[in-house]
A and B are shown apart, each in its own frame.
Chain A
C-alpha cells in the first residue's frame, strides 16, 4: 500500500512542481548565472566577468546612491506606515462602539489607496503636486507659504515619494491591525481592570500591545517587503530623477536592464536584492518570533 500511496502523491504533486521548477526555479538560476556575466539583452554573446557587477553596485557612485536612497525610503516608510496604521486602527476600533456607521465609512476611506491602482494614483499625485498649477502649491501660495518643487527638487523628492508610500500602505496595515484587535479576548481587559490597570495607556501597554505582537510582526514584514520594492511611484512620477535623487534599487534594476539593456548588471542587482529581502525576512521571523508568541 505504502509505495502505491507515495506514487499517487508524487503524480498529484508533479504538475505543480514541474511548473514551479520551469517557471520559477530555472529562471532564478539563470539570473544567478547572468549576474556573473556582461550579457546585454539581444547581444549575440556574453563574457564571464566574475564579481565585477557586484563591485560596480557597491563601489560606484550610482550604485551606492540607489542603495542609500532605498534605505532612506524604507527607514521613513516602515515606522511611519506601521505606526499610523496602528493609530488609525485603535481609533476606528474604539469608534466602532459609539459610531459604527462612521467607523465603517472611515475604514473604506483609509483602504481606498490600497484598492486603487498605484500608477493611476501616481498621475493624480502628479497633478496635485505640480509646482505652479497643482492644488497643494496653489493653496500654500494663497496662505503665504513657500511653494516647493515637490518632485523635482533633489533634496525633497525622496521625502515626497516616502509620503506617497505611507499614504498608500497605511490602509492595509490598518486592516491587519483591526483584525488583530478584534481577536483580543475581552476577558483580558476585564482581568487587567481587576488588577488595577484602568487608564487607557496602561490598558494599551499591558494588554493591547503585547497581544498585537504577532500582528505587528506580520505587518512589519509585509511593509518592509513592499517598501524595499518601491517602483511604481518612482517610475511614473520621477523616473529616478532629478539627477538620480530618487533612484531606488528596484528602479535601478529596471533602468540598467531595460533602458540600458545591461542584463548582466541588472541580474546582479536582482541577486543582491533577493538575498537582502530573504535575509531580512529570515531575521524578522527567526529573531522576533520568539518574543511575540505566548502560547
Chain B
C-alpha cells in the first residue's frame, strides 16, 4: 500500500515535470499593469495549458525593476522573461543578460505585424534583444475651456510652435494661478522636440553626439520661448501633473501613456483633448522617441526559451495587444491591431484622443536613444539640469553646445 502510494506520487511528480514549464515573469508599475498582466497571463495559459506563468511581485517603476533584475542576476535568481522600460533594456543587453531573439522571429515579421519601425525599438547592432509591448510618444494635452477663455478654439488649434506659444501666452495672462504651457526639462522630451525638428541625439554607430545641430538648438529654443514668451514656470513634474487635471494649466506636453489618468483626473471639470506634436521637419526625417515597455528573454535554458518565446509572441500578438491598449491606454506595438478595425475599431470610436496618440506612434515611432556606457544614465540628468538652465534664461545655442561638450567628455567621445 505504502509503496504504491509512493510510486504514484513519484509518477505524478515526474509526469508534471515533463509536461509543465513554469515561466517566471517580471513586470513594473503595478498601478498601470497589475490587472493587465493578470489578464494576459490568464489568456496565455488558457491557450498553452502546459505552461504556467508565475508573475513576480511587481517593481514600483522601470528603474527599480532593472535594479532588481541586476541584483537577481548576480544572485542567480533572475526571472525567465521581463517587461522593462524601452529605454532600459540596453542596460540588460550591455551585461549580456538579454538573449537575442533573432532565431525565434518569424521569417516575414511584417506579416505578423512587426514592422521595421516597431522592431527598431528593441534592436541594437542588427540584433533583436527586445520586442515593444506598449508604446507612448510625447503629445500635447489641452484644456479647451482655457483655450476658449483666451480667445482661441479647438477647431483652429495651432499646429506649429509659434501658434502654440502665442496661445499659451494668452492663457497665461488670464489669471495669476493659471499657467499657459508646461513641458518637463527632461531627456526624453528634449529628444522628442529634437526628432520633430529632424535631428538625432547621436550618430548611427553611437560614436558621437549630434544634438548640437540646428535641430537641437531649435528644440532647446522651444523650451526657451515657452519660458520667455509664454511664461512657463520651473515647477516640478509632480506639480504639473496635478495642475493640469485641476484645470490650472492650459497646454501640457506629456507622455501619451498618461491619457487615462489625466482624463479621469479632469473628470467633468473639462473635456481633456489630445493634439499631436507639431512636426517641423519633412516626414522622412522625423522620429519621435518612443517610451513604454518592451519584453526581453532572460532565460538561457533551451527548453524554457521556447516557452518564453511562445509567451513573448503571444503578448505582442494582435489579441494580446488589444487587451493592453484597452486596459492601459498605451499605444499598441503590433501594426495589425491598428490596421484591422475588427480589433480596436469600437475602442477608437469611443476614444478619439487615443486615436491621435496611436496614429502618431504608427507614423513616427523611433527608438528612445539610450546613451552608451557607464555614464549613460548620468548623462540624462545632466541634460535635464542644463535644459532647466535654458528655461531659466540661458541662451539655447550656447547651452546646447556646452551640453554637447559635457556629454562627449562624460561618454568618452573625445
Interface residues of A (CB under 8 A from B): 38, 40-44, 126-127, 130-133, 141, 147, 149, 151-154, 238, 241-244, 255-256, 258-262
Residues on A with C-beta less than 8 A from B378 are: 256, 260, 262
Interface size of B in residues (CB-CB distance below 8 Å):
35
B108 at the interface (CB under 8 A from A): no
Bound complex: CA A43 to CA B74 (Å)? 9
Max chain B Cβ within 10 angstroms of own Cβ: one of A44, A130, A141, A149:
A130
Bound complex: CA A127 to CA B246 (Å)? 13
Residues on A with C-beta less than 8 A from B248 are: 132-133
Q: Is the CB of A42 within 8 A of B389?
A: no
In the complex, the chain A residue whose C-beta lies closest to that of B389 is: A243
Q: Chain A's interface: helix, strand, loop or mixed, by majority?
A: loop
Residues on A with C-beta less than 8 A from B179 are: 132
Interface residues of B (CB under 8 A from A): 63, 67, 69-71, 73-74, 91, 95-97, 176-179, 233-236, 238-239, 242-243, 246, 248, 374-375, 377-378, 381, 384-386, 388-389
Q: Is the CB of B233 within 8 A of A149?
A: yes
Q: Which 4 A-B pairs have the closest CB atoms?
A: A42-B70, A243-B385, A152-B236, A243-B388
A133 touches which one: B73, B97, B243, B377 (CB < 8 A)?
B243
A260 touches which one: B73, B377, B388 (CB < 8 A)?
B377
Bound complex: CA A236 to CA B75 (Å)? 29
Bound complex: CA A133 to CA B384 (Å)? 25
Residues on B with C-beta less than 8 A from A261 are: 67, 70, 91, 374, 377
Selected A-B contacts with CB under 8 Å, 23 pairs: A38-B374, A40-B374, A42-B74, A43-B95, A127-B242, A131-B243, A133-B242, A133-B246, A133-B248, A141-B176, A149-B234, A149-B235, A152-B233, A154-B234, A238-B236, A241-B384, A242-B234, A243-B385, A255-B381, A259-B377, A260-B378, A261-B70, A262-B378
Q: Is the CB of B177 within 8 A of A141?
A: yes
Bound complex: CA A44 to CA B179 (Å)? 49
Q: Is the CB of A262 within 8 A of B374?
A: yes
Q: Is the CB of B236 within 8 A of A242?
A: yes
Residues on B with C-beta less than 8 A from A152 are: 233-236, 239
A132 touches which one: B73, B74, B243, B381 (CB < 8 A)?
B243
In the complex, the chain A residue whose C-beta lies closest to that of B66 is: A261
Q: Is the CB of A258 within 8 A of B384?
A: no
Residues on B with C-beta less than 8 A from A44 are: 95-96
Residues on A with C-beta less than 8 A from B242 are: 127, 130, 133
Q: Is the CB of A132 within 8 A of B177?
A: yes
Residues on B with C-beta less than 8 A from A131 are: 233, 235, 239, 243
Bound complex: CA A244 to CA B208 (Å)? 26
Bound complex: CA A107 to CA B239 (Å)? 33
In the complex, the chain B residue whose C-beta lies closest to that of A42 is: B70
B388 touches which one: A127, A132, A242 (CB < 8 A)?
A242
Residues on B with C-beta less than 8 A from A133 are: 242-243, 246, 248
Max chain B Cβ within 10 angstroms of own Cβ: one of A44, A131, A260:
A131
Max chain A Cβ within 10 angstroms of own Cβ: one of B73, B177, B236, B375:
B236
Minimum CB–CB distance for A46 against chain B, Å: 11
B63 touches which one: A43, A126, A238, A259 (CB < 8 A)?
A259
